[in-house]
């Protein structure tokens, strides 16, 4: 008998789970995270959705759709997006990027990423007028795109419906769409003096040129000037001038004279178009006359004006060049109409026929006045006489130690002080004619100089005695070493700081004569002085000079004390005489 043996078989089925990777998404601009609606879908089913920052776990290698909807920027949908490892996706939005060459206008914010991932295509959708070009930025360094590729929209798969433009890309970097347009760029401003010139539109003397600066013209007399503005087209499309374009120079003096029909004109490709307006201090060119400025070419807009100005004025001016494509350029500058003044300098010190000390510092100073106009920055220089003319100080006769010799922007009616500390290094007992010259930073202001003041260089010795009487009181015959009444404090004699060194100091005295009877006198030999309060080492007075001390430098003070021996044979009472000190230099 055959028996069936049933062997149970256990079939175990395991549900397989694909490995997953984490995805994070955040769209940023230069200020940080943007408010964007972020969604991940798979086969039309939402996998994850969040505002601003999204986190999702995706199956490795599977295809998803990543949708990024920005409040102020392109909506970007990435199709067949897949990852095989954790991926942190952070695209950035740049709002002011535009190709430096092949310029576009009306561009939308640039969406940029340099991260690598798998996808089939990405669709950009922007609310805007239909563009004609798409720009691709291939490299951004420090927030600035350094490499651009600009292509016509026909090179992309695009669609335009209502106010929405969409296009597809298959290679990521940075993208924006826009419209080719002219871009005016002000290249130079020139001012010509055309007074008395026959061909004022083409000839004249160049007065000044540049951009964003202060232009300066001399208005000592009314003059005619031609203002010339060179404007290039740095855009991606020709600039066809129409009435919707603007060329305007603002903030002129309304009293100036311009012939609107003849003296306002512009030149494009060799053709001159004439006509414009001058109203409320603004010159406007009649761009409706036409003309076409190709890319990288330029035009010249000009006008001729009669400027009559009786005072210095500064005008803050603006040149504006604008196209109907909403592209423009401006130059802000100043026009200074300058009335040149006259420099009137005057030397104040040292006065004429005065003395300065040899090898000592004295102060030379004066005033500079500006009259009948503006004088600009002033530089003054001290001078002395030579055999032929006044010459600047060289140090051999006068050496400048310190100075304040400039005046900044001296205007009409203003004055400024200048001064020099000068060492008189010249020989003793010599005479010199001193003055100073003053010159302006304005070429139209003539230099001028002061009158000559004659000074003599010589040694000056100055001694200060802070007393004028040495009083011995009422004298009685036979008194010995009678002290002067102020000996307790002493009698000071000082060589002043402004003095030259005293080589020798001498002293003498006259006989003392009785106030009662002039027949009674006391010989000065009875009187002595000492530099010690106890009277030691005395020196007697005589009627001739005796040496007191030598080589006394400025600032030296000697404290002196006096005594008198009263002889017999005289009457008592008061006696008076004269005490004399003499200082001298030996060379």
Predicted confidence (pLDDT) per residue in 228-256, tens digit: 999 999 998 999 999 999 999 999 999 89
Residue 540 near residue 547 (C-beta atoms within 8 A): no
Same domain (yes/no): 367, 218: no
DSSP letter string, 125-152:
EEESSPPSEEEEEEEEETTEEEEEEEEE
Same domain (yes/no): 324, 350: no
**Number of Cα atoms under 13 Å in the Cβ half of residue 87:** 21
Residue 51 within any structural domain of the chain = yes
Asked which of 95-104, 224-233, 510-519 is least confident by mean pLDDT, the reply is 95-104
The per-residue pLDDT of the chain, averaged, comes to 91
Residue 415 within any structural domain of the chain = yes
Same domain (yes/no): 445, 537: no
Same domain (yes/no): 452, 381: yes
State mean pLDDT over 302-319. 89
pLDDT at 192: 97
Domain boundary among 393, 428, 458: 458
Q: What is the pTM of this model?
A: 0.59
pLDDT at 18: 54
Domain boundary among 458, 484, 500: 458
Please write the tens of the pLDDT for every residue from 493-518.
999 887 888 999 999 999 999 999 99
CATH number of the domain enclosing 491: 2.60.40
**Bridge partners, 46 (sequence order):** 41
Residue 9 within any structural domain of the chain = no
Same domain (yes/no): 454, 478: no
The residue range of the domain holding 191 is 184-338
State whether residue 153 is helix, strand or coil. helix
Distance between CA 94 and CA 108 in Å, rounded? 9
Residue 567 phi/psi, 5° resolution? -75, 165
Same domain (yes/no): 296, 330: yes
Residue 201 near residue 265 (C-beta atoms within 8 A): yes
Residue 175 within any structural domain of the chain = yes
Residue 11 within any structural domain of the chain = no
Query: Which residues, 6 or more positions from 563, have their beta carbon under 8 angstroms from its beta carbon?
Result: 481, 482, 483, 484, 487, 527, 528, 529, 530, 535, 538
Residue 387, pLDDT > 90, answer: no
Domain boundary among 114, 145, 180: 180
Residue 12 within any structural domain of the chain = no
Residue 558 phi/psi, 5° resolution? -115, 130
Asked which of 38-47, 135-144, 274-283 is least confident by mean pLDDT, the reply is 135-144
Q: Which of 106, 243, 126, 123 is nearest to 182 (CA)?
A: 106
Same domain (yes/no): 509, 449: no
| Percent above pLDDT 90 for the chain | 78
CATH number of the domain enclosing 326: 2.60.40.10
As given in the structure block, the two tokens for residue 304 are 């001729």
Residue 10 within any structural domain of the chain = no
pLDDT at 585: 80
Residue 233 within any structural domain of the chain = yes
C-beta atoms surrounding 369 within 10 Å: 17
State mean pLDDT over 293-310. 92
Distance between CA 459 and CA 464 in Å, rounded? 17
Q: Higher pLDDT residue, 49 or 72?
A: 49
Distance between CA 285 and CA 264 in Å, rounded? 7
Q: How confident is the model at residue 6 (pLDDT cuts 50, 70, 90)?
A: very low
Three state DSSP letters for 430-486: EEEEEEEEEEECCCCCCCEECCCEEEEEECCCCEEECCCCCCCCCECCCCCCEECCC
Q: Higher pLDDT residue, 111 or 30?
A: 111
Same domain (yes/no): 24, 170: yes
State the total domains in the chain. 4
As given in the structure block, the two tokens for residue 423 are 């060492």
| Percent above pLDDT 70 for the chain | 96
Same domain (yes/no): 451, 494: no
Same domain (yes/no): 234, 374: no
Distance between CA 366 and CA 204 in Å, rounded? 42
Q: How confident is the model at residue 13 (pLDDT cuts 50, 70, 90)?
A: very low
State whether residue 300 is helix, strand or coil. strand
Same domain (yes/no): 406, 353: yes
Same domain (yes/no): 75, 152: yes
Q: Higher pLDDT residue, 98 or 263?
A: 263
Distances (CA, A) of 220 to 223, 253, 416: 9, 17, 23
| Phi-psi map region of 293: left, alpha, beta (phi>0 left; psi -120 to 50 alpha) | beta
């Amino acid at each position: 008998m055959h028996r069936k043996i049933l062997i149970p078989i256990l079939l175990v089925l395991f549900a397989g789970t694909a490995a997953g990777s984490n995805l994070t998404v955040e769209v940023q601009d230069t200020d940080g995270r943007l408010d964007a609606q972020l969604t991940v879908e798979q086969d039309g089913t939402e996998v994850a959705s969040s505002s601003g920052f999204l986190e999702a776990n995706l199956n490795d290698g599977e295809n998803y759709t990543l949708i990024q909807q920005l409040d102020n920027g392109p909506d970007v949908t990435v199709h067949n997006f897949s990852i095989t490892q954790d991926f942190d996706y952070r695209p950035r939005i740049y709002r002011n990027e535009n190709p430096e060459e092949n310029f576009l206008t009306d561009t939308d914010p640039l969406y940029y990423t340099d991260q690598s991932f798998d996808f089939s295509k990405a669709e950009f959708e922007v609310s805007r007028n239909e563009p004609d070009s798409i720009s691709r930025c291939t490299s951004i360094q420090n927030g600035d795109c350094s490499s651009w590729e600009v292509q016509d929209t026909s090179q992309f798969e695009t669609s335009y419906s209502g106010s929405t433009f969409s296009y597809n890309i298959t290679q990521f970097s940075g993208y924006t769409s826009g419209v080719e347009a002219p871009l005016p760029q002000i290249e130079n401003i020139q001012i010509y003096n055309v007074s008395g010139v026959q061909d004022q539109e083409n000839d004249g003397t160049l007065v000044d040129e540049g951009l964003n600066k202060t232009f300066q013209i001399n208005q000592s007399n009314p003059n005619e000037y031609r203002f010339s503005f060179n404007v290039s087209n740095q855009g991606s499309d020709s600039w066809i001038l129409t009435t919707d374009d603007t060329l305007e120079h603002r903030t002129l003096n309304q009293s100036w004279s311009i012939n609107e029909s003849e003296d306002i004109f512009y030149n494009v490709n060799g053709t001159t178009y004439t006509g414009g307006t001058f109203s409320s201090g603004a010159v406007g060119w009649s761009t409706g006359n036409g003309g076409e400025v190709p890319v990288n070419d330029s035009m010249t807009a000009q006008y001729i004006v009669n400027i009559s100005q009786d005072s210095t004025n500064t005008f803050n001016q603006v040149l504006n060049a604008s196209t109907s494509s909403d592209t423009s350029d401006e130059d802000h500058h100043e026009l200074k109409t300058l009335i040149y003044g006259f420099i009137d300098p005057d030397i104040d010190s040292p006065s004429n026929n005065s003395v300065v000390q040899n090898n000592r510092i004295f102060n030379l100073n004066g005033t500079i006045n500006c009259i009948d106009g503006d004088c600009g920055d002033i530089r003054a220089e001290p001078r002395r006489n030579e055999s032929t003319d006044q010459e600047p100080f060289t140090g051999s006769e006068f050496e400048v130690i310190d100075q304040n010799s400039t005046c900044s922007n001296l205007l009409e009616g203003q004055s400024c002080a200048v001064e020099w500390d000068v060492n008189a290094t010249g020989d003793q007992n010599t005479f010199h004619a001193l003055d100073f010259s003053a010159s302006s930073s304005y070429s139209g202001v003539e230099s001028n100089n002061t009158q000559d003041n004659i000074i003599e260089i010589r040694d000056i010795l100055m001694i200060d005695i802070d007393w004028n009487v040495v009083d011995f009181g009422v004298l009685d015959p036979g008194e010995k070493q009678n002290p002067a009444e102020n000996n307790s404090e002493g009698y000071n004699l000082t060589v002043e700081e402004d003095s030259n060194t005293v080589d020798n100091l001498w002293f003498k005295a006259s006989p003392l004569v009785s106030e009662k009877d002039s027949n009674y006198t006391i010989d000065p030999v009875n009187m002595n002085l000492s530099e010690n309060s106890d009277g030691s080492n005395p020196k007697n007075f005589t009627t001739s000079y005796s040496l007191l001390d030598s080589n006394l430098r400025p600032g030296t003070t000697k404290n002196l004390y006096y005594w008198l021996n009263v002889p017999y044979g005289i009457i008592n009472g008061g006696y008076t005489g004269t005490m004399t000190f003499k200082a001298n230099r030996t060379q």
